[in-house]
């Protein structure tokens, strides 16, 4: 005969102080884990939303990012007329030569300054990115010191808001527009005219990369193979989607550190739950003896105390989920390839389910040995204990 679950629930309510303290410890452990998972999920969502499978990013061979790549104008002239590249409205190839570097600006989170990407691009570079639109202001004009900043930059960097001026290169650049790129990483970039940026930074010939758009998926793969096998170009091509997927490697150390800290905290929380349940067994010795006299088996008692520990941990897991929920949608930033990418924390149902499962595992581990101790008590010995 099984002991009713209501018996365990009443015990948790009666010993509310101990219940709350143990549940709080488990809740904090779960909250730390979920906060890290939400951060990593937000970064991965942002990078996964960036890029188009029909677009091919071309870098210098051996380069892993645009910031450390060199791309000459001569190589670009050889590249843009390759077969498979789509044509724009004016009949010209959809190929954009670009310069990517970093600026250091003070943010609301880091007054000492953070690195952010500055992208100099050709007008076709805007046409080739249909998911990027102006949410306020206007696009920059070619040949002028004007910039358009991503909406995440405008929110987090006071000096990069509409109408402000940013100093770099040989002068000040006016912020004339705010761009909205949905969830993509381009919300964390500043766009400006390629030739003006190259002149100001004294890089008129050696730039960073080229972005080209293929006519279809088959042409995109053929274009990748053609560029990678072209010994004359000595360039490395990969799909824009793949490039940003590789940037998720920057989240790996954060995820590892968060899980490591959570495991350390989990050990402490499981021992706290174990101590709580051992104390409950000691205080309820007579109850255990009475249950045995009433005909409940050792297995029923073991299962009852085990369930009580799992319920206690589940309560802590729910509290941990509630603690981390306010983080959902909060914008933060993380360094990737020497610059910052802004993204939102994403507390998804799957992440919350992971937190609850984690808490249940803690409760199961912490309750197993006390439950076994309760089940092994002899009837007469248990009835004599005070």
Q: What does the pLDDT read at residue 7?
A: 65
Q: What does the pLDDT read at residue 112?
A: 82
The verdict on residue 130 lying in a domain is yes
Give me the residue label for tokens 């249940």: 360
Return the bridge partners of 55, or none.
213
The verdict on residue 295 lying in a domain is yes
Shared domain for 263 and 297, answered yes or no, is: yes
Cβ(384)–Cβ(370) under 8 Å? no
Shared domain for 137 and 96, answered yes or no, is: yes
Which phi and psi (to 5°) does residue 14 adopt? -60, -40
Query: Last residue of a domain, which of 156, 189, 213?
Result: 213
Cβ(153)–Cβ(116) under 8 Å? yes
Nearest to 161 by CA among 178, 145, 146, 186: 178
Shared domain for 42 and 59, answered yes or no, is: no
Nearest to 343 by CA among 117, 31, 49, 30: 49
How would you write the pLDDT of the chain (386 residues) with one tens digit per residue?
566 677 667 777 777 777 787 788 888 888 888 888 888 888 777 776 677 889 999 999 888 888 888 888 998 998 988 888 999 888 889 999 999 998 988 887 777 878 888 999 999 999 998 888 999 999 999 999 999 999 988 888 888 899 999 998 888 999 999 999 887 888 889 999 999 999 999 998 889 999 999 999 999 999 999 999 988 888 999 998 888 877 766 556 766 776 777 777 777 766 766 776 666 666 665 666 666 666 667 777 777 777 878 888 888 889 989 999 998 877 766 655 555 666 778 888 998 998 898 888 887 877 777 666 666 665 555 455 54
Question: Which runs of consecutive H residues, i.e. helices, occur in 284-297?
Answer: 285-293
The verdict on residue 231 lying in a domain is no
d(CA 355, CA 366): 16
Q: What does the pLDDT read at residue 290?
A: 66
Classify the phi-psi angles of 163: left when phi > 0, otherwise alpha if psi is within -120 to 50, otherwise beta: left
Classify strands 146-150 and 171-180 as parallel, antiparallel or unpaired. parallel
Residue 68 lies in domain = 55-213
pTM of the model as a whole: 0.72
- Start-to-end C-alpha separation, the chain: 26
Tokens representing 372 are 């076994």
- How is 143-175 classified by DSSP, letter by letter? TSSEEEEEHHHHHH-GGGSTT-EEEETTEEEEE
Q: What does the pLDDT read at residue 382?
A: 47
Tokens representing 252 are 């790996």
Nearest to 267 by CA among 14, 91, 29, 21: 29
Nearest to 133 by CA among 191, 75, 83: 191
Cβ-based neighbours of 286, under 8 Å, separated by 6 or more: 382, 383, 385, 386
Shared domain for 17 and 65, answered yes or no, is: no
Give me the residue label for tokens 């560029």: 227
> How many domains are contained in the chain?
2
Question: Which runs of consecutive H residues, i.e. helices, occur in the chain?
Answer: 5-14, 16-48, 73-79, 123-127, 151-156, 194-200, 217-229, 240-246, 252-283, 285-293, 298-324, 349-375, 379-384
Shared domain for 267 and 346, answered yes or no, is: yes
Shared domain for 41 and 60, answered yes or no, is: no
Q: What does the pLDDT read at residue 94?
A: 93
Tokens representing 38 are 């939400």
Give me the residue label for tokens 């040989």: 170
Shared domain for 69 and 34, answered yes or no, is: no
Shared domain for 323 and 351, answered yes or no, is: yes
Q: What does the pLDDT read at residue 146?
A: 94
Shared domain for 10 and 128, answered yes or no, is: no
Q: What does the pLDDT read at residue 232?
A: 84
Shared domain for 173 and 296, answered yes or no, is: no
């Amino acid at each position: 005969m099984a002991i009713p679950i209501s018996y365990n629930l009443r015990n948790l309510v009666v010993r509310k102080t101990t219940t709350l303290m143990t549940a709080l410890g488990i809740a904090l452990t779960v909250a730390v884990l979920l906060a890290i998972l939400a951060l990593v999920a937000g970064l991965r969502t942002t990078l996964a939303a960036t890029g188009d499978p029909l677009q091919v990013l071309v870098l210098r061979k051996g380069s892993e990012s645009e910031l450390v790549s060199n791309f000459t104008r001569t190589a670009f002239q050889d590249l843009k007329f390759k077969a498979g590249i789509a044509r724009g409205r004016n009949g010209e190839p959809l190929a954009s030569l670009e310069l990517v570097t970093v600026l250091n600006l003070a943010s609301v989170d880091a007054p000492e300054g953070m690195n952010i990407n500055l992208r100099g691009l050709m007008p076709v570079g805007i046409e080739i990115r249909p998911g990027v639109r102006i949410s306020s202001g206007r696009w920059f004009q070619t040949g002028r010191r004007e910039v358009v900043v991503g909406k995440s930059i405008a929110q987090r960097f006071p000096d990069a808001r509409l109408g402000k001026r940013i100093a770099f290169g040989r002068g000040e650049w006016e912020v004339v527009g705010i761009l909205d790129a949905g969830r993509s990483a381009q919300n964390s970039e500043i766009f400006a005219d390629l030739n003006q940026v190259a002149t100001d930074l004294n890089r008129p010939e050696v730039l960073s990369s080229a972005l080209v758009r293929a006519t279809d998926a088959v042409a995109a793969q053929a274009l990748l193979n053609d560029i990678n096998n072209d010994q004359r170009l000595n360039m490395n091509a990969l799909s824009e989607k793949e490039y940003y997927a590789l940037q998720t490697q920057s989240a790996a150390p954060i995820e590892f550190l968060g899980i490591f800290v959570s495991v350390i905290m989990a050990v402490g929380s499981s021992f706290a739950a174990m101590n709580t349940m051992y104390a409950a067994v000691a205080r309820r010795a007579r109850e255990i003896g009475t249950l045995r006299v009433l005909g409940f088996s050792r297995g029923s008692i073991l299962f009852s105390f085990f369930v009580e520990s799992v319920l206690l941990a589940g309560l802590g897991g729910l509290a941990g989920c509630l603690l981390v929920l306010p983080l959902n949608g909060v914008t933060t930033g993380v360094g990737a390839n020497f610059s910052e990418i802004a993204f939102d924390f994403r507390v998804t149902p799957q992440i919350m389910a992971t937190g609850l499962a984690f808490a249940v595992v803690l409760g199961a581990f912490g309750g197993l040995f006390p439950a076994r101790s309760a089940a092994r008590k002899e009837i007469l010995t248990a009835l004599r204990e005070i």
